Chain A
Amino acid sequence: MKHPRHIIISLLAGFAALAAGAQNPSDLRIGEVLCENTSGLVDGFGNRNGWIEIFNNSNGTVKFGGCYLTDDASNLKKYHIPSSDRSTQVGPRQSIVFYAGGNASLGTYYTNFTVEKGESVYLVSNDGRTIIDRMDIPTDLPADKSIAKIPVGIKEMDFEVRVNDKPSPGSYNGDVDAKTKSEIIKEKDPHGWVLTLISVMVVFSALLILAFIFGWIGRWNGKGKVKPAPKAKGKVPDEIAAAISLALRQELGGEVYAAIALALDDYLGTGVHDAESFFITIVPSQNGNWNDKTQTFRQLPR
């Protein structure tokens, strides 16, 4: 760790590791809880129980196997969600429902406790200690009504807790009849002039700012940062000509000759070569016979 480069790489690796762990159970929320179910959701065994909805508040899939659900703050490991069940994952902005019937032997999604008014329900991380989220159930929650976290705000990442007259187990708690952006635009701007005006302004602004920045950078660069290209004089100074002459007398490779030729060409400004090319192609002399097939012939034995 003495070398600064190692420290920087370690820091970058640390940030990358943090980013990789972005979608984890901490993104889960207890989205909705219903205690008294007389006419609502029926479980797989035909029973009507209370239920707990877990909502994934992230834009990535989250695995929740190994986490815990409980209604007892002194016993955070009351119901262990089996980590061996491959179905224990929830998609982005999706929900899953646990039936709170008190009989966990019925399956993964059946808790070993029931939910009661006035209690709190906790979602606990797979370490068994960290409370990810909790939902306090009002004592006066009417039958067939749920207490729900409704996503609010432009990003819909924050929540408002309120009693939900129309429980929606397993589906989004927001306005299910919400209009799409396209429908909203169609209502507000039926002919498209507003969107067009804004868009044109944004495109022009973005490119105008870019033009200003690069105009400025160009001027700044021109003030002594970049030496002007040597002008064609049509004549190489005597001392350079002597150095070239000396170099050419040596037994140098073709690459060196090519480099000298290119440098001279650049200096004199007489020609154009592609500055973007990454390599120089040296065509072997047509008179060379090193790969001539006739050189490999041999006389047939007689």
Chain B
Amino acid sequence: MNTVIESLKQFWFFTGFANCTWQNLTMILIGIIFITIAIKKDWEPLLLVPIGFGMIIGNIPMFPGLNIGVYEDGSVLNTLYQGVKQGWYPPLIFLGIGAMTDFSALISQPRLLLIGAAAQMGIFGAYLLALAFGFDPNQAGAIGIIGGADGPTAIFLSSKLAPDLMGAIAVSAYSYMALVPVIQRPIMLALTTKEERLIRMPKPRQVSQREKIIFPIVGFLLTAFIVPSGLPLLGMLFFGNLLKESGVTRRLAETARGPLIDVVTILIGLTVGASTQADKFLTGSSIKIFLLGLLSFVIATTCGVLFVKFWNLFLKGDRKINPLIGNAGVSAVPDSARVSETVGRESDPDNHLLMHAMGPNVAGVIGSAVAAGILLGFLG
């Protein structure tokens, strides 16, 4: 009888109930909230569902030493987590993004690239604020990249500069990307006048296939020569785009933008979520990171819109740019461009800004990868 009781006691100690803490339950609750938001509101479901479920997986209370936790060497989750830790997944996601992105909107109006550059101020604004909050420069750089509104870039950079903060940074980046419509709309309305919102932009010109093929090659050469440290992201982004535009690698392009990116998205979402174990995630730093992440999105949107307004001072006639596409400089593709379209049509239902906003939007992807490369070069 004693043996049975002892065995039951031992079994009890191995259960999640015996090892449960309020921190575990909090994180599980956050995971459930993520999943609920994704399903009910349809906000970034492809990312929030894996991250939310990953949070639940990573916070199941367990007896240490069973070699199943994400931070235990050799466990299944740890093996999958290496793609995040070593930075393999983000470049693969960039390959898929490149293979699914049509840069025509940008090539037809190359001047819109500058809006993508202006919105990167969110990254550097958050960097300055993070330093003021007491973070070290490498940590501040990793936090600042949240302002790029680019999940893979945030994971890539934080895995290199501040691995300890990666969980909080990734979750913060994806959370605010899901909240782009909520964050950006009031800022855009507050910073623009009714007249400005009514500006109609000329129809973009037709882009030839040759230009589309030249773009990834020239774009890569130029950006990689300026910022070689951004090579993994920039190389994969432009390579993916070349696969798409070359017209002779259809199968590769379809794999990159289909099954490959889906598989990597599942793995990156799940493992990033699982890495948010309560003891590593529920800290004062995480709260600061969430606050800084929000501020970085606000700064990025503000700078993008104000930059267009400032630029308009020097433009005449139909060259003027609708400042509502300024927000699209953050690289949350295509959500921020969609916000431009929605807010634009509130003022003029016939004014379609989506095709114009896609230019700065994809420029933002390039800009944030360049910014990540610069930060890695200085702080890595």
Could you tell me which A residues sit within 8 Å of B by CB distance? 180-182, 185-186, 189-193, 195-196, 198-200, 202-215, 217-218, 221-222, 225-226, 229, 276, 278
Stretch from B35-43, B79-87, B116-124, B269-277 forming part of the interface with A: B116-124
Contact (A218, B205) CB under 8 Å given A182-B138, A196-B124: yes
Contact (A181, B227) CB under 8 Å given A207-B116, A214-B110: no
Contact (A207, B114) CB under 8 Å given A218-B108, A278-B250: yes
Contacts of A203 in B (CB 8 A): 117, 120, 367, 370-371, 374
Whether B17 sits at the interface, judged by CB under 8 Å, is no
- Would A225 and B208 count as touching, CB distance under 8 A? yes
Chosen A-B contacts, 22 in total, with CB atoms closer than 8 Å, are: A191-B128, A191-B131, A192-B128, A192-B137, A193-B128, A195-B127, A195-B378, A200-B120, A200-B124, A203-B374, A204-B114, A207-B363, A210-B219, A211-B111, A214-B106, A214-B110, A218-B107, A218-B108, A218-B110, A221-B210, A276-B102, A278-B250
Whether B94 sits at the interface, judged by CB under 8 Å, is no
Whether B287 sits at the interface, judged by CB under 8 Å, is no
Whether B375 sits at the interface, judged by CB under 8 Å, is yes
- Would A181 and B378 count as touching, CB distance under 8 A? yes
A210 to chain B, nearest CB (A): 6
Could you tell me which B residues sit within 8 Å of A by CB distance? 102, 106-108, 110-111, 113-114, 116-117, 120-121, 123-124, 127-128, 131-132, 136-138, 140, 161, 205-208, 210-211, 214-215, 218-219, 222-223, 226-227, 250, 254, 363, 366-367, 370-371, 374-375, 378-380
Contacts of A200 in B (CB 8 A): 120-121, 124
Q: How far is the CA of A77 from the CA of B87 in the complex (A)?
A: 43
Contacts of B205 in A (CB 8 A): 218, 222
- Would B117 and A208 count as touching, CB distance under 8 A? yes
Contacts of B206 in A (CB 8 A): 226, 229
B202 to chain A, nearest CB (A): 14
Total inter-chain residue pairs, C-beta < 8 Å: 120
A128 to chain B, nearest CB (A): 38
Contacts of A195 in B (CB 8 A): 124, 127, 137, 378
Contact (A202, B370) CB under 8 Å given A190-B131, A191-B131: yes
Contacts of B370 in A (CB 8 A): 202-203, 206-207
Main secondary structure, interface of A, reads: helix
Contact (A209, B371) CB under 8 Å given A192-B137, A215-B110, A218-B107: no
Contacts of A229 in B (CB 8 A): 206
Q: How far is the CA of A94 from the CA of B161 in the complex (A)?
A: 22
- Would B131 and A211 count as touching, CB distance under 8 A? no
Q: How far is the CA of A226 from the CA of B114 in the complex (A)?
A: 26
- Would B116 and A199 count as touching, CB distance under 8 A? no
A269 to chain B, nearest CB (A): 11
Chain A: CB-nearest residue to B245: A276
Contacts of B223 in A (CB 8 A): 206, 210
Contact (A215, B111) CB under 8 Å given A202-B374, A206-B227: yes
Partner of B222, one of A209, A215, A218, A226: A209
Q: How far is the CA of A208 from the CA of B366 in the complex (A)?
A: 12
Contacts of B120 in A (CB 8 A): 200, 203
Q: How far is the CA of A229 from the CA of B206 in the complex (A)?
A: 8
Q: How far is the CA of A180 from the CA of B102 in the complex (A)?
A: 40
Q: How far is the CA of A205 from the CA of B226 in the complex (A)?
A: 9
- Would B211 and A218 count as touching, CB distance under 8 A? yes
- Would A210 and B131 count as touching, CB distance under 8 A? no
Contact (A208, B211) CB under 8 Å given A202-B226, A202-B227: no
Partner of A186, one of B117, B127, B137: B137
A191 to chain B, nearest CB (A): 6
- Would B136 and A186 count as touching, CB distance under 8 A? yes
Chain B: CB-nearest residue to A220: B211
| 8 closest cross-chain pairs (CB), A and B | A182-B138, A214-B110, A211-B110, A207-B113, A196-B124, A211-B113, A207-B117, A185-B137
Partner of A199, one of B106, B137, B371: B371
B122 to chain A, nearest CB (A): 11
